[in-house]
Chain A
Amino acid sequence: MRYLALVLFVLLTLLACSKNEDKKGGSATPEQVLRITIGASPANLDPHQATDVPGLKVVAALMEPLLTTDYQTFEVQPGVAESWEVLEDAMLYRFKIRENAKWSNGDPLTSHDFVYSWQRILSPGLGNQYALDYYAIQNAGAFHRGDLKDFSEVGVKAISDKELEFRLEKRDPLFLKRLAVETTSPVHRATVEKFGAIDDPNNPWIRAGNFVGNGPFLLKYWELNQIIEVEKNPHYWDADSIKLQKILFNPAESESVEERLFRAGQIHIAYGGRIPVDKIARYKAEAPEQFVSQPAYATYFYVFNVTKPPFDNVDVRRAFAYAIDKEALTQYVTKNGEPAANALSPISAAYNPPKMPAFNPELAREHLAKAGFPGGKGFPKVTLTYNTMEMHQAIAVAIQQMWKKELNVDVTLENQEWKVFLNFRENLQHDIARAGSFSTFADPMDFLDSFRSGHGMNDTGWSNAEYDRLIEASGQALTDKERYELLYQAEQILLDQVPLIPLYYYTQSYLIKPEVKGFKFSMADYPSFKGVYLEAKQ
């Protein structure tokens, strides 16, 4: 009995000890500490290496690029640069950096910092995944491929301490938008060099304690799978508009965990982008002011493998596309208010894409008959492959039934683990496969460019010379009107040839406590913490 009592005592003591630990400041309730979930734990916070959405959400608090984006209109706005000029038919861009722009250690932020940062972004060894997006800059491609060793020959120049210039070798209509993404933020040279080489992907300069940044917040605590703590940066040029003292980013791997944290009052905003589908109706009914659903500039679609029968026949592809009732799919399966998609690019104020015929079973059967399979007779067994996830499966099952009902064809379903699936799709081993695309700039080019011949993301094997020509020409257009016109024509070809079936446009859903004021949700899903504050609970 003595032993038992001893063990019980030790157990209770240990559990009680845990109550006193508050090392991450999680239970502190001072004013202006925002608690927010961001999806999974970020893999990296280095702006030149981060690629995952959770990571970029934190980077948005820590770093500021030359320009920023108005999250409603998607127009570029001043960031670290207070003004800019576009010269020589959009082949030369000149930026004026704010006089009061500083690093979080108080050092002045200069154009030389940007030149160094661009050298880092384009260094072959760093493995920046967006480097190819910047090939329009003079000699950027040569430097990134390793053909050119001297960075002074690349078209990024400091004219003075506060003036920066980019010279392009090829026009890029999205160039300003690219400079408004967190991944082009500057890094503090002395700090990077203190902890490693410019192109060392394992450089630990970004760890809390080492970190120096130029954004509205400072990194105070970051360990993997733990709450990330950032604190207001007093040296930020616009510090007056930052009302929050701290933000605690809570990594939560699944939407159910996020929802539970929100319900238990441990977070103010469930910002991972998804709420469990079965909970949505309840929030809408019982606490509509806490539930936010927002369209995303992203599309969910299926890709065909057009390199082998039966989907090498455009009529078969059309039949499969027109036999899907997308409205029913979003209403009864996905159930999050997603708009049905009949084009790859989402609809925006600037660009209204052409449409493929909506659900039309008659037309679908005609095309199948024309392809030599009247009433589905003699149609070979084909497989629809998707990565393992409950929602993908539900969608696939619904579509499998629609194809059976409308076309009388049998489609087998197959799920695969994520990386196995990516590999399978990339090697064109599929018949039909799930896909999704998301645009950071809310621009149709982000979607349409992927279907050029031989593009790394064109997992269809489809190729069309006229399409390639139009996409290429759109990159050289001088006005947005002309550019959108060319993209429209390209998208018409894509929708007519049906290498893919657009299914719906994603929506993102969030939960937010009423005491949070000034927080704006955006289609691009990256937060801005300017003007956000917490009001006393009612």
Chain B
Amino acid sequence: MLRIFLQRCLSAIPVLFLVVLFTFILIRLAPGGPFDDERAVPPQVLENLNKRYHLDDPIHVQFFDYVKHLLQGDFGPSFKYPSRTVTEVIYAGIPVTLELSLYAFLVALVFGITSGVIASLKPNTLQDYVPMSAAMIGICLPSFVLGPLLILVFGIQLDWLPVSGWGVTPGDKILPSITLGAGYAAYLARLSRGGMLETLSQDYIRTARAKGLSGWRVVFHHALRGALAPVVSFAGPAVAGLLSGSFVVETIYQIPGLGRFYLQAAFNRDYTMILGMTILFAFLIIICNLLADLLLLWLNPKLRGRK
């Protein structure tokens, strides 16, 4: 397992390098620069700014300068927020994004697996149809629809929860976590239902039942572990998706997480910020996938022997 871990870590290095290279080239290909605005910047000022940020150097010099600084852990200053460095912005935003993703993931796990298991116990009955229909709706309903709906009902009509913010007003973390987690909960519900149905038909479950074990024990102790394999395979990319895909929810609820910075950076042509965020998210996605793979190996010993 250690060998697999090290192999995967090493192979991540060229992947990250390619991510930096392609992002660097792509953002420079996009028309418009970081200092363009409706009120045009006078040419003299633009020249000064380009000189200041070394944007007047040849592109390959800029690239190698960037990589050199990157290796020293320096993501450079932000073009849009001059009094801050990209590293500072990441440090400030990452706890928020991680916290939001964690809560959303918990929402997804709890609601997803519970409803999946409940549905699988009596397939093709009302107990199956109700949670699975809810899951189907959850998959179809994007967060930019669900978010404002939840706000309308719980924030404005019932006045139970705040409509925006993060850690500012009591309870303001509840709606964003549900909004972000709902779609994943729906996927997890369908996956765990499928996994459970398959596992419950296995011989060892029949054996367990034949031995006279209680229904709950069979389901939770024997069946669930086997049924979770597809859920775990999905969980790795799901966590990565939660981390990098939270910008819609962050925008709806005005949450100061990284997703919003990422999106704004692209619109602002904030070159250093785009690169910094892309590298960070690429890194997180690689890590999440690696962890999911390792978890699968741990759950299913049969996989360990395979190359």
A402 to chain B: closest CB distance in Å?
A: 25
Q: Say yes or no: is A263 at the interface (Cβ < 8 Å to chain B).
A: yes
Contact at A224–B168, with CB atoms within 8 Å? no
B167: which of A18, A51, A261 is its contact (CB, 8 Å)?
A18
Q: Say yes or no: is A418 at the interface (Cβ < 8 Å to chain B).
A: yes
Contact surface of B with A, Cβ cutoff 8 Å:
30-33, 36-45, 48-49, 51-52, 77, 80-85, 89, 92-93, 102-103, 106-107, 109-110, 113-114, 148, 151, 155-156, 159, 162-165, 167-174, 177, 216, 220, 251-252, 254-256, 260-261, 267-269
Contact at A225–B82, with CB atoms within 8 Å? no
Contact surface of A with B, Cβ cutoff 8 Å:
1, 3-4, 7-8, 10-11, 14-15, 18-24, 26-27, 43-46, 49, 51, 124-129, 131-132, 144-145, 201-207, 223-227, 250-254, 256-257, 260-261, 263-264, 266, 417-420, 422-424, 426, 435-436, 456-457
Contact at A1–B77, with CB atoms within 8 Å? no
Contact at B40–A426, with CB atoms within 8 Å? yes
Closest chain B residue to A260, Cβ basis: B163
**Known contacts A126-B48, A257-B164; can you find 16 more A-B pairs with CB under 8 A?**
A10-B106, A14-B106, A18-B167, A21-B167, A23-B167, A43-B81, A51-B37, A124-B44, A129-B39, A204-B83, A204-B84, A225-B255, A252-B254, A254-B251, A263-B156, A264-B162
B165 to chain A: closest CB distance in Å?
A: 6
10 CB < 8 A contacts A-B: A3-B220, A11-B107, A14-B102, A15-B174, A44-B82, A225-B254, A225-B261, A252-B164, A256-B148, A420-B30
Closest chain B residue to A4, Cβ basis: B114
B82: which of A22, A26, A46, A132 is its contact (CB, 8 Å)?
A46
A126 to B49, CA, bound (A): 8
A496 to B113, CA, bound (A): 71
B247 to chain A: closest CB distance in Å?
A: 11
B44: which of A15, A145, A202, A225 is its contact (CB, 8 Å)?
A145
A43 to B51, CA, bound (A): 21
A254 to chain B: closest CB distance in Å?
A: 8
The answer to whether A129 and B84 touch (CB under 8 A), given A260-B151, A261-B164, A264-B159, is no
Contact at B170–A27, with CB atoms within 8 Å? yes
Contact at A436–B167, with CB atoms within 8 Å? no
The answer to whether A27 and B45 touch (CB under 8 A), given A4-B114, A43-B80, is no
Contact at B52–A456, with CB atoms within 8 Å? no
The answer to whether A223 and B37 touch (CB under 8 A), given A417-B267, A456-B42, is no
Return the 8 tightest CB-CB contacts between A and B, nearest first. A419-B32, A26-B168, A225-B256, A18-B173, A19-B170, A456-B40, A423-B31, A21-B167
Q: Which residues of B contact A225 (CB under 8 A)?
A: 93, 254-256, 260-261
Contact at B106–A11, with CB atoms within 8 Å? yes
The answer to whether A22 and B168 touch (CB under 8 A), given A129-B45, A426-B40, A457-B40, is yes
Contact at B42–A132, with CB atoms within 8 Å? yes
Closest chain A residue to B40, Cβ basis: A456
The answer to whether A227 and B42 touch (CB under 8 A), given A1-B216, A7-B109, is no
Contact at A420–B220, with CB atoms within 8 Å? no
A194 to chain B: closest CB distance in Å?
A: 14
